[in-house]
Amino acid sequence: MHSNIETKPESVALTKTVKRGGCAAKLPAGALSKILQSLKLTRPAPLLVGMEKFDDAALWDLGDGRLMVNTLDFFTPIVDDPVDFGRIAAANALSDVYAMGGSPALALTILAFPTAHLPLELVEPLMRGAVEKIEEAGAGLAGGHSIDDETLKLGFSVTGFVPATRAWTNANAQPGDLLILTKALGTGVLISATKEGKAEPEWINEATASMAQLNRVPELVGDLEIHAATDITGFGLAGHAMEMAVGSGVQIEINTDQLPILSGALESLRAGILNRAHKTNLEYTADKVEWSQLPAEWRWLALDAQTSGGLLLSVAPQDAEEVLRRVRAQFPRAATIGRVLKPSTQGGSALRFKAD
């Protein structure tokens, strides 16, 4: 018998139904990467990008000048409002296609729903929010799969397309490039602060609006020289920038004074509000990141697991000013946060954080 059969969908506080929300619920990156690297996989010839460099999505050569982009993403509730959760879940999944330079075309739903704890009517506002974002992206929802589970999880498998000459990966950053981040950081810690009842409403409103915004960056700058891109999600800015540096064979330097930050994020970190992902991301980046003498809250900010975070673009220096100008028309918090350097001849870190 359903324990809350009389509960109205709009009155359910979704974040109270799970221990971890959003991309902070990901498995630890370090342990997962070791497992995946042990697998012996057959590589079909048309598969141009798989999981060898932990890119955002797979690229499949269609043989006609186009590449197909395939990805999937799902997670537990990150906000209480079901419509907003649907919007964020869809925007987050669509982001991986944008991170490869592509345009989304088709989405399939992944839904785990706890019928013993939540009213089934809640599915309607969840999907209404998701469809809003999928259609805003110019894609269509074509079905999906659902199961009865102990905790609510929502996500999407997304297929998109990109001209082969305009595809982005996370593994082609070049020395001299400038790094542009399109959204402000801090969603992970703000979600934790919300669960602890320590977040101001205006903080959550700003974070929710940021997470629900589509990363429609390729259509703004696809004609300019973007050498590499990735979206900042569960492994934090540090983890994803590190993967870009390692995959590209370069060193990346990020200036923390230039980072865009969501309201309340630093205050929450200074108050000691952390989650499991902060520590697993620290372990994942431990031997490849140099932190200089940064205060603890800045280090935790760089390790903060983002949900539907921004794109990190590695841009040819002659195009960086124009890229930033165009991107800021849709993403006013976008900022140039660092640069790409030649790899150190003496080994050392792949990623370095500093403050002016």
Q: Just list the catalytic residues.
A: 23
Instruction: Please report the beta strands in the chain, taking only residues with DSSP state E, as ranges in sequence order.
Output: 47-49, 58-61, 66-75, 103-113, 140-148, 153-163, 178-181, 226-231, 251-255, 289-290, 311-315, 335-341, 351-354
Query: How far apart, in whole angstroms, are the C-alpha atoms of residue 175 and residue 181?
Result: 17
> For residue 75, what are the β-bridge partners?
154
Enter the tokens of residue 250. Answer: 């370069």
* Measured torsion, CA atoms of residues 265, 267, 273, 275, in degrees rounded to the nearest 10: 20
Nearby residues of 236 by Cβ (< 8 Å), 6 or more positions away: 188, 277, 278, 281, 302, 303, 304, 305, 306
* CA 85 distance to own-chain centroid: 15
* 253 SS3 class: strand
Query: How far apart, in whole angstroms, are the C-alpha atoms of residue 29 and residue 38?
Result: 14
**Rg of the chain over CA atoms, in angstroms?**
20
Of 54, 18, 36, residue with least CA distance to 235: 54
Of 121, 139, 105, residue with least CA distance to 10: 121
